[in-house]
Amino acid sequence: MKFYDKLNGAIAHNQSLLFIGLDPNPEMLPEQYCQKSHPQSMIDGLWDWLEFTISQTTDLVCAYKPTLGFYAALGIPGWELLQRTLKAIPAHIPIILDAKHSDLNTSTILAKTVFEEWQIDAITLSPYAGQDHVAPFLVYPDKAVFILCTTSNPSAAILQQYPTAESPFYLQVVKEAKNWGTPEQLGLEVGTIQPDILAKIRKEAPERVILARSIWSEGGNLKNLLSAGLNYNGDGLLLPVSQDMLGSENLSTQLQSLRAEINHLRTEISQENSTCSVWFPDVCLLNQHPLLDLILQLYDIGCIMFGEFVQASGATFPYYIDLRKIISNPQIFHQIVIAYAEILKDLTYDRIAGIPYGSLPTATGLSLHLNSPMIFPRKEVKAHGTRKVIEGNFNPGEVVVVVDDILISGKSVMEGAEKLKYAGLNVNDIVVFMDHEQGVKDRLRENGYQAHAVLTISEITETLYAAGRISEEQFKTLSEIN
């Protein structure tokens, strides 16, 4: 079973977002388990404590999280203790190994050991070595990783909040990590008692599971943390059980009370936030672009980014447009569908064709909005099944309008159009959201296609500059490439 399904199954079955850290820390060992006369007695005491904790909580938590470092510190007896602990956890409860692993050279062998030999469901990783470090863990489709974003220890702030609190390094970690794996395979580990930090991460990654840490420090407000960290479905946030509570002989009773409190607050928050978030404009321009609000929204949610980005062609551009995020924001997605539809209403066609994979959600939205049948050319042909090049029903000789997201070189959209033509369909028009300009429309025209764009990169940059979203230096750099 996939980790994501196993986790959601445990959450639903136990009605709990709580997880327990199974940490054999001798310094935290409750008095009733302490036997200091012989080293092996300490191991026995730790095992008795861990076993009791598991037996009292299997119907109250959604996951267990053993910390690898505590077991390793105990030497060979510690490794043996880890195996006993793993075997004691019921099969339907997912296990997240808290390893904070950070060594690129040992990532492949550790992934094999943890996922194949130990049959653990997920692991925590440090992001500093980048995607190459994470990749060996993601080749296991049924497993998952949690990327460490931020911690609560005060001395870490100088690094994690660099260069500014408004644009901290930990948010850059979130932005990059989202490109490494799917929401089902890659979550985020966040240690904080500050709701604003949790809220920033949730805003940047609305679809990711967040493994919260250190929330019970003095001054933490549970409802504020839940409001900041829960997703729009009222879940997506895993909460730790306090280490102090794990020393209690009445653990089950206390945990039931905590679970009830959290579920009550989740209900309150869901009722308070029962509608989709709404974006409001914060600028007013005299000669504003008709799609001003849409441009600003796309920039504000990170669909329009500026920096040094390598494109699929190998060229480096000072910007990047990522429309894949719009599917998580119905308000903006609807506006984009309407913008496309304004162009399509003046065109003649029988079917809409989306180009995999980026424009398929938009093509689907247009198909529903315009009540027009949709097809799409496959990016690759399967070696099994029907082996179709074109998915969907169509008749040779029909006219198809092609929908894509961005025109840069025109290569990918023409390849898709050629597949459609090879199947006996006619393609005259290609409609995209953004035109990179630099003569790409002329290139398409020379190949027999008429290109239409909702926006050009010039319109986007001019609007963002006028609205104060980008600097004069950024504007000049972008203007020079057009």
Catalytic residues: 100
DSSP sequence for 356-391: TTTTHHHHHHHHHHHT--EEEE-SS--SSTT--SEE
Alpha-carbon gap, residue 252 to 59, rounded angstroms: 9
Q: Mutual orientation of helices 251-272 and 39-57 as an angle, nearest 10°?
A: 50
Supply φ then ψ for residue 367, to 5 degrees.
Answer: -60, -45
Of 317, 294, 322, 321, nearest to 478 (Cα)? Answer: 317
Give the 3-state secondary structure of residue 208.
coil
Q: Binding site annotation covers 304?
A: no
Of 325, 344, 327, 296, nearest to 178 (Cα)? Answer: 325
Q: Binding site annotation covers 220?
A: no
Q: Binding site annotation covers 407?
A: yes
Q: Binding site annotation covers 210?
A: no
Alpha-carbon gap, residue 314 to 180, rounded angstroms: 19
Give the 3-state secondary structure of residue 305.
strand
The CA–CA distances, whole Å, from 320 to 181, 332, 414, 468 equal 19, 18, 21, 19
Q: Binding site annotation covers 293?
A: no
Q: Binding site annotation covers 187?
A: no
Q: For residues 308 and 318, is the Cβ–Cβ distance under 8 A?
A: yes
Residues 6+ apart with CB under 8 A from 46: 24, 26, 29, 33, 74, 81
Q: Binding site annotation covers 411?
A: yes
**Helices and strands (H and E) in the chain: how many:** 18, 17
Alpha-carbon gap, residue 203 to 417, rounded angstroms: 37
Q: Where in 157-208 does DSSP place strands (E)?
A: 186-191
Q: For residues 319 and 457, is the Cβ–Cβ distance under 8 A?
A: yes
Give the 3-state secondary structure of residue 63.
strand
Q: Binding site annotation covers 223?
A: no
Q: Binding site annotation covers 470?
A: no
Q: Binding site annotation covers 390?
A: no
The CA–CA distances, whole Å, from 39 to 74, 406, 455 equal 10, 65, 71
Q: Binding site annotation covers 404?
A: yes
Alpha-carbon gap, residue 94 to 41, rounded angstroms: 29
- Tell me how far apart the terminal alpha carbons of the chain are, to the nearest angstrom: 50
Q: Mutual orientation of helices 251-272 and 222-229 as an angle, nearest 10°?
A: 60
Q: Binding site annotation covers 388?
A: no
Q: Binding site annotation covers 469?
A: no
Binding residue ranges: 378-379, 382, 384, 404-412
Which residues does the annotation place in the binding site for 5-phospho-alpha-D-ribose 1-diphosphate? Answer: 378-379, 382, 384, 404-412
